[in-house]
């Protein structure tokens, strides 16, 4: 299935076979993924029960169980036990950065998105792709079966990084939209104040989602290779500044470490996770590390 796809070549798909994703905590209201799914092959097959909650349709109460146990329990179908994953992929212009000879940030994010989607769809879960800059953009139809994966992979190949963006604003907007609760994987360089990103993570958590921040940065951003006095330009705004690199190298490194630590704390505060992936990293290894920490 993966032949011919830029971000999911066959050799990568083969190495991802056997990898499974299981959430550390149950999601409120259902959708739990492979670790709850039985792969019966039909979305209307009985899977298990859950307690009745106000607003649930009473025609789904199992009255035979009520007669035996005096408990109001609803029958859940197999489809309701599936995880719904939302891949929010940053396509703002800062993601266009690409060091000579290495995959750029957008290409790395697309490879990670393709691999994560493959793992989820293969284990019977559903995946939605949501590109975003300043706000979530329309994506391809949700992929809930292997036949739905090629449109998502082709959509990744058409993405370009352009325009200004704000990851925190986009995440708040997504949290406000009525969507199935699920796993929200944010693939971005996260170049916004950590307090703003943490606030957006809390909003997603309040909406019932589990959050995984996947931060993609280039080696040049983590450890600038420049020296002397140089002029730098901000990719999304065009603002320029003249800096003396050697005199600020230690201060810059400390600021980067603090930013990463603050993002990790913000995600952990809502039982989420933060993952740093450097451009050019081995995708299979990165995905395995992400999956193991969800």
Quick check: 282 pLDDT over 50? yes
Contact between 175 and 204 under an 8 Å Cβ cutoff? The reply is yes
Quick check: 37 pLDDT over 70? no
Q: What is the pTM of this model?
A: 0.82
Contact between 79 and 105 under an 8 Å Cβ cutoff? The reply is no
Contact between 153 and 130 under an 8 Å Cβ cutoff? The reply is no
Cα gap 176→174, rounded to integer Å = 5
How do residues 60-70 score in pLDDT, each as one tens digit? Answer: 788 888 888 88
- Mean pLDDT for the stretch of residues 152-169: 96
In three-state secondary structure terms, 278 is: strand
- Mean pLDDT for the stretch of residues 249-258: 95
Domains plus CATH for the chain? 10-23+82-292 (3.40.50.410), 46-80 (no CATH)
Q: What is the pLDDT of residue 5?
A: 95
How do residues 213-239 score in pLDDT, each as one tens digit? Answer: 999 999 999 998 888 888 888 878 888
What Å distances lie between residue 242 and 230, 237, 239, CA to CA?
A: 6, 16, 11
Q: What is the pLDDT of residue 193?
A: 97
Quick check: 206 pLDDT over 50? yes
How do residues 94-109 score in pLDDT, each as one tens digit? Answer: 999 999 888 999 999 9
């Amino acid at each position: 299935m993966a032949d011919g796809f830029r971000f999911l070549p066959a050799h990568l798909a083969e190495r991802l076979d056997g990898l499974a994703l299981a959430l550390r905590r149950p999601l409120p209201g259902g959708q739990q993924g492979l670790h709850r799914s039985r792969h019966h092959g039909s979305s209307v097959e009985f899977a298990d029960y859950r307690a009745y909650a106000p607003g649930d349709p009473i025609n789904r109460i199992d009255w035979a169980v009520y007669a035996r146990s005096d408990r109001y329990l609803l029958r859940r179908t197999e489809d309701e036990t599936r995880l719904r994953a939302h891949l929010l992929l940053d396509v703002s212009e800062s993601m266009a950065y690409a060091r000579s000879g290495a995959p750029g940030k957008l290409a790395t994010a697309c490879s990670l998105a393709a691999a994560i989607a493959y793992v989820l769809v293969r284990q019977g879960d559903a995946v939605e792709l949501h590109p975003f800059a300043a706000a979530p953009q329309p994506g391809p139809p949700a992929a809930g079966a292997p036949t739905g994966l090629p449109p998502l992979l082709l959509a990744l190949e058409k993405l370009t990084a352009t325009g200004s963006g704000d990851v925190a604003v986009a995440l708040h907007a997504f949290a406000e939209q009525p969507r199935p609760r699920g796993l929200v994987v944010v693939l971005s360089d996260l170049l916004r104040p950590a307090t703003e990103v943490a606030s957006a993570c809390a909003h997603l958590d309040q909406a019932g989602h589990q959050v995984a921040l996947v931060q993609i940065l280039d080696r040049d951003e983590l450890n600038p290779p420049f020296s002397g006095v140089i002029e730098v330009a901000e990719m999304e705004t065009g603002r320029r500044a003249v800096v003396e690199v050697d005199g600020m190298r230690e201060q810059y490194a400390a600021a980067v470490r603090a930013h990463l630590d603050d993002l990790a704390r913000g995600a952990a505060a809502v039982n989420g996770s933060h993952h740093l992936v450097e451009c050019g990293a081995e995708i299979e290894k990165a995905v395995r590390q992400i999956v193991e920490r969800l």
